[in-house]
Chain A
Amino acid sequence: MKDNSAGYVMRTLAICCVCLGMTAPASAQGFAGLGADAEGFSHPARDLPIVFPRDHGPHPDFRIEWWYLTANLKDADGIAYGLQWTLFRSALEPGDAPGWTSPQVWMGHAAVTTADAHYVAERLARGGIGQAGAIAAPFTAWIDDWEMTATGDGIADLNLRARGADFGYDMALSAGGPLVLQGDAGYSVKSASGRASYYYSQPFYAIRGTLQLPDRDVDVSGTAWLDREWASQPLGETQISWDWFSMVFDDGARMMGFTLHDSEAGDFTAATWITPEGEATPFPDGAFVSEPLETAMVAGRSVPVVWRARLPDKGVDVTVRALNPQAWMDTLVSYWEGPVTITGSHTGQGYLEMTGY
C-alpha cells in the first residue's frame, strides 16, 4: 500500500510536469526556473513605464508574475501573527488562449504563521477556464475560492480570503499611503548584467479581519504589504537564491531590501527607502547589506532565522528575527516565508522570504 502511494505521487508529479512542460524547481536556470530562457516573451523596458490601473492585471506575454501580500497581525491580547496570500502566474508560452489549452498556469500560496505554528495551503490551476486569473479593473485576482478583490477603484481597498485544510482567513485592507514604484520608476534591476523586472508595491495597508485557526477564530489587525512583480527572465542563470526583507518601522517609514546570491558573480543587493508619506528612494547594488547571525534546522535544511540588515545611508542597522523559525512553505516550489520582528537602530516588524536553501 505504501509503495503504491509513493509510486503514485511520483507518477502524478511526473505527469504533471511532463504534460505541462514544467521545468525543474531547482536547476541551472536560477531558482524555480526564474533564470530560464524566455524566448518569445516580452521583457521589461525602462522606456515603457507602469500604467495603472492596467498593470494591476495580468501580463500574459511575460513569463512570470505575482501578486504577493504579506501582513503582520496582532490580536486583542497582543499576540503576533503573520499572514501570506500569493498568486503566481507562470506562462508556458507567451499569450493566452481560452479553454483547456491556455498556456497560463496559476499557483496560489496561503499561510498563517504564529510563534509556534505555520499553516500552509497551495492551489494550482490553469488559465483559460476561469478557475484562476486576475482582472485589472475592477481589480480582482483569484484562484478557486481564494481571492483578492478591490471594493473601490484601483487597489486601495481590498477584500482578501483564503482557506486551507486546517485554516483560513477573511480580511479587509485599506491603503493609508500611495503605491510605491520600486527601482527606477518600477524598473527593478536584479543583476549586475542588467536583468530586471517590473516591480511596484503597496506597503501602506491597514488590515483587519478574522483568522480561522484549527482551535479558534481570532480577530486581528495590523499592517500589510503588497508586492506586484512581473518579468520573463528576471534572474541570471547562476542566481540561485535570494533573501528578501520588507520592514515596517514603528515611526511609519518602510524599507525593502534584497540580496540575490549568485554562484559565480557574487551577491547583488538592492533596497528602497520609503518615507511615511510614501516617497521612495532606491539604492544601488551594495548599499544594502544583510548577514545571517543564527541559523535553525528547518525541514532538514540549515536556514538563517536571525539577520543583521544594514542600510548605512539611512542609518539603518537592525536585527531581524523570525517570529517562528519553522515557517517553511512546503509547497511544490518550497521556500521560507514568515513574519519577523525588528530591533536595533529602528524597531518594527516585517516579513522575510528566503529561497534556495
Chain B
Amino acid sequence: MTGAGLTALLSHWRRNPWQLLTLVTGLALATALWSGVQAINAEARASYAAASDTLGAGDLSRLTRRDGQALTVAEYVSLRRNGWLVSPVMEGELRTPGGVVLLTGIDPLTFPTPAGAGPSATGPMQNLLLDDGPVLFAHPDDVPLLTGFDTDVRPDDRRPRGQAMADIALADRLLQGDGQLRYLVVAPAQPPQTVPLPDVYTISEPLAQTDVSRLTRSFHVNLTAFGMLSFAVGIFIVYGAVGLAFEQRRPVFRTLRALGLPLTRLMALLAVELTFFALVAGALGVTLGYLIAAALLPDVAATLRGLYGAEVTGQLQLRPVWWLSGLGMAFGGTAIAAGSALIKLARMPLLSFNHPRAMSLHAGNAGRWMLLLALVLFGTGALISQVGEGLFAGFGLLACLLTGAALCLPWVLAVCLSLAGRISRGPVSEWFWADSRQQLPGLSMALMALLLAMAANIGVSTMVSSFRLTFTGYLDQRLSSELYLRVSSAEQAAEIEQFLVAWSVAVLPIVSVDLREGGLPAELFGLRDHATYRDNWPLLSAVDGVWDRLAAGQGALINEQLARRQNLSPGDTLGTGDVVLGVYSDYGNPAGQIIISEQQFGARYPGLSPRQFGLRTETPDELARTLRNTFELPADALINQRDLKDFSLSVFERTFSVTAALNLLTLSVAGLAILISLLTLATMRLPQLAPVWALGLTRRRLARLELLRAVCLAALTGLLAVPLGLGLAWVLLAVVNVEAFGWRLPMFLFPWDMLQLGVLTMLAAFLAALWPAIRLARTPPQMLLKVFSNER
C-alpha cells in the first residue's frame, strides 16, 4: 500500500512537470540567494580573521613621537633602559623587480606576548624551531617577487598581499637603512614605572577590537538582511507550489484514504516526498549560490577594499558553514511552506468538498489576526526607533516595518476592493470586484512577496540614487583642485613651488599625519587658508566665522564620521586638544579626519613638510605635461582630478552593484510567485467561473477580466509599495547608513524611477497572468459543464 500510495502521489508530478519545475526552481532560487550571500560573508570573515591574525600589532597600544617623526634606535633603547616595555616595528618599502613590497620588521625578542604564554606553546613547532637562518614571511603570491634577496622566503597565507614580515635585523639589511621605526608597540602589562614617559612621545590606545571586522560588520549585516529578504520571497514561491500540488491532489488523497491508507502514513509519504525535493532543490540552490557568490565576490572584495581597506581574497572557497546553512535553509523553508498545507490535510474531513467561499471566510478570520499582528509589529517598530540604537535597531525597525506592511496587505487590499465594488455599477463589474475579493486569500502570499520586492526595490534604489547624487556633488566640492601633485622630497617641493609662481598657479599643500582619536585611526591635516576651501568645502554644521577662526588656529574641522563616532559637535574639544569648529561630510572614507590650519600643523609637526599639493589651474593637462617633463616626475606623481573622481565613483558603483543584483533577482522571484499563485487559483476557480460562463460571459472575456484583475492587484500593491519603499529608504539613509558607514545622506525622490518600476511590475503581473488566462480562454466548454454535473 505504501509503495502504491507513493506511486500515486508522485504520478502527479509526472503529469505536471511544469509545476515540479516551479517548485524546485523556487526552492533552489531561495536557497541560492541565501547561500550565495552566506558564502560571500563567510569568505570575507575568513579573510578578516586571517588578516587580524597576521601581526596582532593592531591589538597593542602604540608609542609614537608627537612630532610624527620616526624614532631612532637610540630613542628606543633609552625607553627600554628606562623600564618601558616597548618593541620596535620597522617599516619600509622593499623594491623588487616585480613591484614594491611593504616590509615590516619586528623584534621577536621584545614583541609583547599575551600574559601567561609559557614555553609550553613551543612543542608542535619543533620542526620550525630547528631551522636556522633568517626568514622572510610573505603571501604565497608574493614569494616569487622576493626570491632575489638571498634569504629564505616562506609562504604564509596570513600575510596580506604586498606585505612581508621578517626579523628586524633582516628587514634592516634588506631595506638598506631605509626602514624607519614609525612606532613602537607597547606591552599591555608594564612594570610599575619609575621614570615618566618623556613628553616628546605619546601613547595611543589600541584599536578597539579588530577594527576591520568591526567596521565591516555593518556591511555584512546589510548583505545578510538582503539574503533573508530574497529567501523570504523565494519561500513564497515554494508555498504557492506546494499549496497548488496539495490542492490538485485532493482527489488522490481522498481516494488513497478511502482505499485504507492511514492518515499518518499519507502524511509521512508526503513528508518524504517534500524532503526529497528539498534535498534536490537545496543541492541545486547551493551550487547556484556558489555561482552567484563567485560572480559577486570580486565586486564585494573591491567594495570592502575601497571602503574599509579590508583585504578580502577574490577567490571563493567551499566552506562547509555556508553550504550546510544553505541546505538547512532549504529544508527549513520547505517545512515552513508545507507546514500549513500538511496541517490542512490533517484536518481535512475524508469526504469534504472544495468550498472556496468557506475558505475565503476562514481566511478573513486569519486576516484579522494578521492585521493585529501587523499593528503589534508597527508598535514594536516605533518603540525600536525611539529606544533602540545601532545597526541592529535599524534592521529591527526595517523588519517590523516590512513584515507589518506585508501582513496588512490582504486587509488593505480587501478594503480597497470592497470600496471599488461599492462604487461600481452593473452586474459584471460588481461580480468582478467581488470575485477579486474572493480570490484575495489565495493570492495574498504572492502579493505580499510582490509588495516586499517592490518596496525593497524602491527603497534601495532611492538610497543608491540619493547617494549617487550627493556623492557626485560632494566630489565636485571636495576635489576642487584640478591637479594633484605628489613629490618625493621637500627640496623638490620647494623647486616646483618656485616654478609654479611663473604659471600663477595657486598651490594648496596637503600635509597629514596618522593618529588615533578615541582609539580609532584618524588623520590630521594641515590646511592652507584659501578661497578654494572657503567656497567649496561641504560643511554640515559650523560655528560662526568658521574659516577665519580655523585660519587663526582657534580650532579644528572634523569629518562627519568622527563627529558621529565620538558624538562631537561644534564647540566640543577633541583628544588633540582642539575645539571643534565645524563638521564636514566625507563620504567613502572609513577613518576619522581632523583639519587644523597649516600654521598650527607646522608648529605641531615641525619636521613634516608637505609632499602632496593641490594645484588650481585652468589648463590641467598642459600643466601636467610641463611638470612631468621639467621635473622628470614618475607617472603616478600627478593625478588629474577627473581620474580621481572616476576612481571614487567606481568604488561607489561597485559598492552597490551587489545590492542592485540582489534587488533584480528578488523582483523576478516575486513575479514567479504571482505566476504560481495564479496557476494554483486557476484550477480552484473553475467552479466559480462556470456559472458566470453559463450566464453568458465568453471564455475570452473571462480571460481578459482575469488579466485585468492581475494587473489591478499588482497596481494596487505597487501603490502601497511606494510609501513602504520610501519608508524603507528613509530608514536605510538615516539609520542604517549612519551606523554602517558613519554618514547620513539627504533623501531625494525619483518619481520617474518609481513610475518605471510600477510599469515594470504591472507588466510582470500581466505576463504572469497571461498563461493562466490563455489556459482559461482555451478551457474546453465540457470542462466548465462538468462543474455542474460533478462537483469534483
Contacts and interface: CB of A to CB of B under 8 A. Distances in A.
Interface of A: 4-25, 27, 99-102, 105, 121, 124-126, 129-131, 142, 144-145, 163-165, 168, 212, 330-334
A227 B445 CA distance: 87
Size class of the B contact interface (CB-based, 8 Å): 35 or more
Contact of B172 (A21, A24, A99, A212): A99
Nearest to B73: A129
B109 A124 contact: yes
A130 B108 contact: no
A19 B121 contact: no
Interface stretch (B130-138, B533-541, B651-659): B130-138
Q: Which of B105, B110, B166, B190 has the most CB of A within 10 A?
A: B110
What's the dominant secondary structure at chain B's contact region?
A: mixed
Given A13-B122, A101-B173, A165 B131 contact: no
A13 B125 contact: yes
6 contacts: A8-B56, A10-B121, A17-B108, A126-B169, A142-B81, A330-B118
Contacts of B170: 19
Contact of A24 (B76, B106, B130): B130
A20 to B, nearest CB: 7
A145 B137 CA distance: 32
A213 B682 CA distance: 88
B74 interface: yes
A16 B168 CA distance: 11
A23 B127 CA distance: 10
Contacts of B76: 129, 131
Contact of B74 (A130, A331, A334): A130
A19 B189 contact: no
Given A8-B114, A19-B166, A24-B126, 10 more contacts: A10-B121, A16-B109, A16-B111, A24-B122, A100-B73, A101-B172, A102-B169, A130-B81, A145-B82, A212-B192
Given A19-B108, A101-B173, A333-B119, A10 B132 contact: no
A95 B126 CA distance: 27
A149 to B, nearest CB: 12
A15 B105 CA distance: 11
Given A19-B167, A145-B80, A145-B83, A10 B125 contact: yes
A164 B115 CA distance: 13
A14 B53 contact: no
B173 to A, nearest CB: 6
A144 B80 contact: yes
A14 B128 CA distance: 7
B124 interface: yes
Contacts of B83: 144-145, 163
B561 interface: no
Interface of B: 49, 52-53, 56, 73-74, 76-77, 80-83, 85, 105-111, 113-114, 117-119, 121-122, 124-126, 128-135, 137, 165-170, 172-173, 189-192, 194
A18 B81 contact: no
A15 B137 contact: yes
Given A12-B113, A165-B189, A21 B121 contact: no
Given A5-B114, A9-B113, A25-B122, A15 B108 contact: yes
A126 B109 contact: yes
Q: Which of B126, B172, B190 has the most CB of A within 10 A?
A: B126
B53 A4 contact: yes
A333 B74 CA distance: 29
A20 B135 CA distance: 9
Contact of A144 (B81, B105, B121, B137): B81
Nearest to A8: B56
A16 B53 CA distance: 16
Nearest to A214: B192
Contacts of B80: 125, 131, 144-145
B117 A9 contact: yes
B132 A21 contact: yes
Contact of A7 (B53, B105, B118, B190): B53
Contacts of A24: 122, 126, 129-130
B77 A129 contact: yes
Contact of A105 (B109, B113, B132): B109
Nearest to B85: A144
A40 to B, nearest CB: 13
Nearest to A132: B80
Contact of A12 (B73, B108, B126): B108
A334 B121 CA distance: 13
Nearest to A170: B194
Given A17-B128, A20-B167, A163-B191, A334 B118 contact: yes
Nearest to A21: B132
Nearest to A121: B191
A145 to B, nearest CB: 4
Contacts of B53: 4, 7-8, 11
A19 B134 contact: yes
Given A101-B169, A131-B80, A144-B81, A13 B121 contact: yes
